[in-house]
Structure 1
Amino acid sequence: MEEIKIHEFEFALINEFFTELERQGPGSPEETIRALNFIGNLSNKSKIADLGCGTGSQTMALAQNTEATITALDLYAGSIDKLNVTAKKLGLQNRVKGIVGSMDNLPFQNEEFDLIWSEGAIANIGFEKGLNHWKGFLKKDGYVAVTYESWFTDERPAEIEKWWMNAVPEISTIGHNISLMQKTGYIPVAAFTLPESCWIDNYFIPQKTRQEEFLKKYVGNKTVENMISFMRREADLYSRYKQYYGYVFYIGKKI
């Protein structure tokens, strides 16, 4: 039986599930700030775009650790609504604005931004394609910072290779991705792996209660059952094969 891709599940159901969670992918405020420390020359005049922002956990970390103006973009209106409510609660609404839009059809001006940020989302359009497309919206010497699923080793067991090749067909090694960053017109500044806690404590464990709630709400719904089965398999595979892959923060400076 062929592996089901998460993208094949209904878009609205996936977003309903994840909008109630603090994070829509592996990560942490600490790792967001760690990556931010590699970015130079940000001021109260700087502009940041956070692409594929979800409900904005990392957006708020960026806003609380810079003086920049941030435009956060996501396809799902429910996530953007929640992000804008959070920004207002934190008193950040004058500097943080969430908008609905697509990462591969950005509604921005050429060379508008000092920094383009994207955690756990660039795989939706492809690492190389994303870096190429987004570069036009960065000022000269502007930065890009993304997290992207990557192999830690040159070889890995067939089971996990098949899973990730199905989910992210372009998945590759850290070295290959750094070379792609150079090829697309950036100077690589840093690359570091996210710790296991970003996956287990911040992504998989919070899903468990939500999964039970969802199965009760949509009892007998095969799409939901398949979606939850997919998520549980993802967590199981990570526990068994985490030494072979993970998210890597890639930071580059536009030439």
Structure 2
Amino acid sequence: MNNENQTIRGIDVDLICEFFLNTQRQGPGNPEATLRALSFIDGLTDDSRIADLGCGTGGQTMTLARHAPGHVTGLDFYPGFIERFNANARGANFGDRVKGVVGSMDDLPFREGELDLIWSEGAIYNIGFERGLREWRRYLRPGGFLAVTEASWFTDERPAEIHDYWMEMYPGIDTIPGKVAQVQRAGYLPVATFVLPENCWTEHYYAPLAKARELFLRKYAGNATAEELVAFQRQEEALYDKYKAFYGYVFYIAKKMGV
């Protein structure tokens, strides 16, 4: 996440982040999908530099760090996420190899060409897919990799209800071929794409949200804004259940071409 917009649908971003602080993942995904994406990336060594942008509390980052060599930096704008991230890294005994820092996706604290791999699950939408591809590219070494998940249409046409919802929430959503074309235009070689399975949404994202909602509403009993946030989450879940044949998250793995 970045903090360019202080509200989402009129709800304070800090309140939204506090809600997600009680979840292991802040978006759809699972360890198997993370590892499948990692399997398309080669050339990593103990000296490699990896950045997970919009890392949240680091659920996916810890999986990545367990199975990839090198030094991993998680970056997120919300200090609460980074505090939890670093506690998780210490608990996993990663020592100095994995570290979370507070920062913005649109002003990365890395040198040009410093990174061997940029990772971002469910977060590039915060600055836009095409913009993220273009701006992050300069931080990758030639031949470095990028692996991101992005909301994508599975069909060229879809029911008006879900189309209108996504046009309001994220007009940058596109079909998979459309996203691959954006990857190419930004100066990458597309390496692989795959759709995240349904359990990335149901078992690993929406099911844990039920407990988070309970804790959140208990803390903010009678708070209309908190109740609105929970209602929005429930609406999102209901729409996914109804229209999951038409959209989902897709992993895009690409390699930087040229200098």
Measured against aligned partners, the alpha-carbon deviations of 1:138-194 in whole angstroms (never above 9, x if no partner) come to 000000000000000000000001111111111100000000000000000001000
Question: What's the counterpart of residue 149 of structure 1?
Answer: 151
Residue 231 of structure 1: SS of its match in structure 2?
helix
CA distance in 2, matches of 1:200, 1:118: 20
Contact 1:84 1:93 in 2 (8 A): no
Task: Give the aligned residue type for 1:150.
Answer: S
Question: What's the counterpart of residue 160 of structure 1?
Answer: 162
CA distance in 2, matches of 1:134, 1:21: 27
Q: Any residues of structure 2 matched to 1:7-22 within 5 Å, and which?
A: 8-22=10-24
Which sections of structure 2, spanning at least 5 residues, go unmatched?
1-6
Note if 1:197 corresponds to 2:199: yes
CA distance in 2, matches of 1:81, 1:193: 31
Residue 7 of structure 1 and its aligned partner are, at CA, apart by 5.3
CA distance in 2, matches of 1:101, 1:64: 23
**Matching residue within 140, 153, 156 for 1:138:** 140
CA distance in 2, matches of 1:224, 1:147: 28
Question: What's the counterpart of residue 109 of structure 2?
Answer: 107
Task: Give the aligned residue type for 1:207.
Answer: L
CA distance in 2, matches of 1:103, 1:210: 26
Question: What's the counterpart of residue 210 of structure 2?
Answer: 208
Question: What's the counterpart of residue 47 of structure 1?
Answer: 49
Q: Any residues of structure 2 matched to 1:35-184 within 5 Å, and which?
A: 35-184=37-186
Task: Give the aligned residue type for 2:220.
Answer: Y
Question: What's the counterpart of residue 4 of structure 2?
Answer: none
Number of paired residues?
251
Residue 94 of structure 1: SS of its match in structure 2?
helix
Measured against aligned partners, the alpha-carbon deviations of 1:64-86 in whole angstroms (never above 9, x if no partner) come to 00111011100100110111111
Normalising by the residue count of structure 2, what TM-score does the alignment of the two structures yield?
0.95
Task: Give the aligned residue type for 2:126.
Answer: N
Task: Give the aligned residue type for 2:174.
Answer: S
CA distance in 2, matches of 1:124, 1:31: 21
Residue 152 of structure 2: SS of its match in structure 1?
strand
Task: Give the aligned residue type for 1:154.
Answer: D
Measured against aligned partners, the alpha-carbon deviations of 1:2-58 in whole angstroms (never above 9, x if no partner) come to xxx845311111111111111100001110000000001011011101000000011
CA distance in 2, matches of 1:247, 1:21: 19
Normalising by the residue count of structure 1, what TM-score does the alignment of the two structures yield?
0.96
Residue 72 of structure 1: SS of its match in structure 2?
strand
CA distance in 1, matches of 2:15, 2:26: 13
Contact 1:6 1:167 in 2 (8 A): no
Over 6 Å off, 4+ runs: none
Question: What's the counterpart of residue 226 of structure 2?
Answer: 224
Which sections of structure 1, spanning at least 5 residues, go unmatched?
none
Residue 23 of structure 1: SS of its match in structure 2?
coil
Residue 133 of structure 1 and its aligned partner are, at CA, apart by 0.3
Residue 213 of structure 1 and its aligned partner are, at CA, apart by 2.3
CA distance in 2, matches of 1:62, 1:105: 23
CA distance in 1, matches of 2:64, 2:208: 22
Identity fraction in percent: 53
Q: CA RMSD for the aligned pairs?
A: 1.0
